[in-house]
């Protein structure tokens, strides 16, 4: 049984690009008769707010995107991340943000001192190759990335790997901006002995200025009724205007998703 998911961070309203990714993930899962899960990635207390979660879930429901089982929140699952972290090869990183802006971290060689440190995964320059359903063959040398910040917050990379395993997710559909994170996550999953999911990275939506969409492009401010645009942008043709996500299921085909980023005129 295929299990897909959408995993937004409640740091603002979902913009058109995020809604498009959510819709693509839902279509992939439902077209295959699979389950679809909703996970709220709310680990960073300085950026996440319950009001944004409420708004995001409302925006998904308005499009007809449904999910199975209760919404899972990462903030409820800290002990799972701590248990996984204990199994990883890590070292302490004492670098400040200002230092890292000037030079790479050298804590693996030089060590450091103090009681404020992040934990970095010791990747030892491992190269990861994988086949992405939409983006094709990929190859990345994984850097020593942070798995727990100096303020104690578990990193997105760690939490997402633990959750996708615990929730038995078999298909990850998300924005192409996370392609290089995927190599890190595959290496983490392998190190923890988890099976690796299938990945499909959806090309991004660019704003009228040619740059990535900012959060301020809330779907409602760009388009009152985004579903027809979203469907067409995923290569779906329909005889009638779609009113809900299910109207797009019949015409959905992963092969028809345009390979290039789409632009908002």
Binding of residue 22 to ligand GLU (CB under 6 A): no
Please report where in the chains the tokens 């913009």 appear, as a residue: 15
Residue 159 Cβ, how far from ligand GLU at the closest point, in Å? Answer: 9
Which of 35, 41, 44, 53 is the binder for ligand GLU (CB under 6 A)?
A: 41
Q: Which stretch binds ligand GLU (CB under 6 A): 1-9, 123-131, 216-224, 242-250?
A: 1-9
Nearer to ligand GLU, 92 or 212 (CB): 212
**Which residue, 177, 256, 173, is CA-closest to 214?**
177
Residue 7 Cβ, how far from ligand GLU at the closest point, in Å? Answer: 4
Q: What's phi and psi for 130, nearest 5 deg?
A: -155, 160
Q: What's phi and psi for 223, nearest 5 deg?
A: -145, 135
* Environment class of 34 (CB within 10 Å of its CB; exposed 0-12, middle 13-18, buried 19+): middle
Q: DSSP secondary-structure letter at 236?
A: -
At 9, list the tokens.
């961070």
Binding of residue 7 to ligand GLU (CB under 6 A): yes
Q: What is the dihedral of CA 23, 29, 34, 38, to 10 degrees?
A: -50
Which of 3, 4, 9, 230 is the binder for ligand GLU (CB under 6 A)?
A: 9
> Taking CB under 6 A as the criterion, which residues in 122-181 touch ligand GLU?
160, 174, 178
Summarize as ranges the residues that interact with ligand GLU (CB under 6 A): 7-9, 41, 160, 174, 178
């Amino acid at each position: 049984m295929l299990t897909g998911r959408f995993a937004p961070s409640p740091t603002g309203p979902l913009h058109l690009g995020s809604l498009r990714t959510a819709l693509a993930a839902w279509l992939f899962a439902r077209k295959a008769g699979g389950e679809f899960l909703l996970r709220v990635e709310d680990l960073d207390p300085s950026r996440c707010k319950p009001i944004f979660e409420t708004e995001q879930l409302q925006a998904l429901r308005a499009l007809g995107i449904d999910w199975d089982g209760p919404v899972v929140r990462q903030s409820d699952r800290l002990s799972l991340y701590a248990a996984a972290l204990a199994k990883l090869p890590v070292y302490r990183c004492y670098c400040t943000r200002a230092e890292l802006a000037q030079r790479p971290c050298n804590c693996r060689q030089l060590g450091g001192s103090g009681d404020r440190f992040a934990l970095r995964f010791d990747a030892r320059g491992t190269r990861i190759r994988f086949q992405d359903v939409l983006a094709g063959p990929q190859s990345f040398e994984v850097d020593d990335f942070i798995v727990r910040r100096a303020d104690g917050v578990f990193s997105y990379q760690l939490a997402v790997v633990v959750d996708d395993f615990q929730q038995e997710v078999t298909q990850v559909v998300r924005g192409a901006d996370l392609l290089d994170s995927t190599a890190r996550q595959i290496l983490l999953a392998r190190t923890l002995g988890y099976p690796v999911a299938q990945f499909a990275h959806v090309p991004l939506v660019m704003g009228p200025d040619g740059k990535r969409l900012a959060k301020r492009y809330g779907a409602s401010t760009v388009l009152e009724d985004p579903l027809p645009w979203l469907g067409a942008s995923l290569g779906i043709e329909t005889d009638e205007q779609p009113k809900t996500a299910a109207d797009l299921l019949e015409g959905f085909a992963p092969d028809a998703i345009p390979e290039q980023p789409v632009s908002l005129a």
